[in-house]
């Protein structure tokens, strides 16, 4: 290990348009999306692949047909065998961790130039058949096929939906939307507030797409004979909610219906909602598909290197990486984690929240964002709500509108942040943050690059 003191920068970032699950990008495998992102970075930067010391790629829906997907995508993109590559799985902060991991490699002297990336195809999340292979129906693939019709009758064999399991915290035994409802009840966040937040996310995203804000770093992608995407898919699918906000009121509450009364939710998770009581006829569920981020497909990548190396190679520097911070909270309150990760990142960089000119916050759920606003203000004096109202938080829309391809979202919010800092002559500092299942959260501080 040879610790060095270097300025680290992000350069030549790019991402695919984000596709709504089972729609525009459904025919792209996660390794195809990741390879596309890496190739686009190499092409746009005119970087010789031989100069890449390694690839760090986040991937949440990890399958067995592309083990160590970072290596698979690296080789398919034309990066030489000598480059290292490893895959990260930190749920929705995987992209932030990919950048932090690349920076650490540089700081300890293990290389000078890395590509950090994230890829996800939620459309291809599999179903699983689990059980010890010693059982009759699972000894071989041929046995499985032969006993297919009787598998569900075998008590030793379990069939699961990896999509639903991947969005559930096994420690607390609750899906992510349930953690958002716990935050809404804990911090008295109404459905109307959440819907208003979601409508604003859509409005900003649609305006950004129409004004070409994303075009410089979100190229259209196509797959021969199977279509593709030119723009992020979800915002334009739900544009009618922005035109007619009353439509949001018609979205069904996830945990408050005739089939699943909200009292039942409260009976299951009321112990997590501290200091509150269920009041029949008054306490209502608030989380809906509209005020939650959609499941998505997509990939993103960015070069992480020293400013010295970037300038020597003529790379388009987005921003300087000042530091980062990761924090953990109760998994049942996972959505509020960024309030604490941001505090840690600011402490590490010796900067204040008020110095942040641009803020990018991953929007898993509107309830989580609004809880962050409250907790950040109460605990640390961070004026999140004021910054959001003035358009400094997610100025061009967030995950609720743009979509959330799990491991790619951390890179996406940092691309938003870096390019906004580069474009805005008055902006000097910015911060990005995301929550993740299990209560882990991450945050990263960037500064306008001044060579």
Phi, psi of 73 (to 5 degrees): -65, -40
**Of these residues, 12, 73, 293, 435, which one is catalytic?**
435
The continuous run of DSSP H or E covering 202 comes out as: helix 191-210
Sign of the Cα pseudo-torsion (405, 324, 316, 53, in order): negative
Token pair in block for residue 285: 């569920």
Phi, psi of 166 (to 5 degrees): -70, -20
Residues in the chain, total: 451
Sign of the Cα pseudo-torsion (307, 315, 74, 59, in order): positive
Find out whether 98 and 57 touch, Cβ atoms under 8 Å: yes
Helix H segments across 5-139? 30-45, 69-76, 94-107
Verify whether residue 150 is a known catalytic residue: no
Verify whether residue 92 is a known catalytic residue: yes
By CB atoms closer than 10 A (0-12, 13-18, 19+), residue 41 is buried
Token pair in block for residue 311: 């300038």
Token pair in block for residue 244: 């007619």
In this structure, the strands spanning 113-121 and 296-306 are antiparallel
Find out whether 270 and 8 touch, Cβ atoms under 8 Å: no
Find out whether 307 and 449 touch, Cβ atoms under 8 Å: yes
Find out whether 231 and 28 touch, Cβ atoms under 8 Å: no
In the chain, helix, strand, coil percent, each to 5? 45, 20, 35
**Of these residues, 12, 73, 92, 369, which one is catalytic?**
92
If we measure between CA atoms, which residue out of 369, 164, 176, 172 comes closest to residue 269? 172
**Of these residues, 20, 362, 382, 404, which one is catalytic?**
404
Name beta bridge partners: 14: 301
Cβ partners under 8 Å of residue 267, min gap 6: none
**Annotated active-site positions, please?**
92, 404, 435
């Amino acid at each position: 290990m040879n610790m060095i003191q270097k300025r680290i920068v992000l350069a030549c970032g790019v991402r695919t348009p984000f596709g709504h699950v089972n729609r525009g990008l459904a025919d792209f495998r996660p390794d195809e999306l990741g390879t596309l992102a890496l190739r686009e970075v190499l092409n746009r930067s005119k970087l010789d692949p031989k100069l890449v010391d390694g690839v760090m790629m986040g991937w949440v829906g990890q399958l067995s047909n592309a083990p160590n997907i970072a290596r698979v995508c690296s080789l398919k993109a034309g990066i030489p065998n000598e480059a290292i590559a490893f895959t990260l799985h930190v749920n929705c902060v995987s992209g932030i961790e990919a950048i932090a991991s690349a920076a650490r490699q540089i700081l300890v002297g293990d290389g000078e130039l890395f590509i950090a990336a994230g890829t996800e195809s939620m459309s291809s999340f599999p179903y699983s058949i689990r059980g010890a292979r010693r059982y009759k129906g699972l000894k071989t693939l041929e046995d499985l096929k032969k006993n297919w019709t009787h598998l569900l009758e075998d008590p030793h064999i379990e069939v699961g939906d990896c999509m639903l399991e991947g969005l559930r915290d096994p420690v607390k035994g609750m899906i992510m939307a349930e953690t958002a409802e716990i935050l809404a009840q804990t911090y008295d966040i109404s459905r109307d507030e959440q819907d208003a937040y979601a409508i604003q996310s859509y409005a900003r995203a649609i305006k950004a797409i129409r004004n070409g804000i994303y075009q410089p770093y979100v190229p259209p992608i196509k797959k021969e004979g199977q279509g593709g995407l030119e723009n992020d898919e979800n915002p334009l699918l739900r544009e009618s909610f922005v035109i007619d906000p009353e439509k949001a009121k018609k979205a069904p509450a996830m945990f408050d219906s005739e089939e699943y009364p909200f009292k039942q939710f409260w009976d299951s998770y009321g112990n997590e909602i501290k200091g509150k009581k269920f009041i029949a006829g008054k306490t209502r569920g608030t989380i809906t598909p509209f005020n939650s981020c959609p499941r998505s497909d997509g990939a993103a990548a960015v070069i992480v290197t020293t400013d010295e190396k970037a300038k020597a190679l003529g790379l388009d520097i987005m921003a300087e990486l000042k530091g980062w911070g990761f924090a953990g909270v109760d998994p049942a309150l996972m959505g509020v984690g960024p309030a604490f990760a941001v505090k840690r990142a600011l402490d590490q960089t010796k900067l204040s929240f008020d110095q942040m000119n641009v803020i990018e916050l991953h929007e898993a759920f509107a309830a989580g964002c609004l809880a962050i606003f409250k907790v950040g203000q109460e605990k640390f004096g961070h004026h999140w709500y004021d910054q959001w109202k003035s358009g400094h938080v997610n100025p061009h829309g967030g995950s609720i509108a743009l979509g959330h391809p799990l491991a790619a979202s951390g890179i996406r919010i940092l691309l938003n942040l870096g390019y906004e800092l580069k474009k805005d002559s008055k902006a000097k500092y910015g911060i990005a943050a995301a929550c993740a299942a299990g209560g882990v959260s991450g945050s990263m501080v960037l500064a306008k690059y001044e060579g």
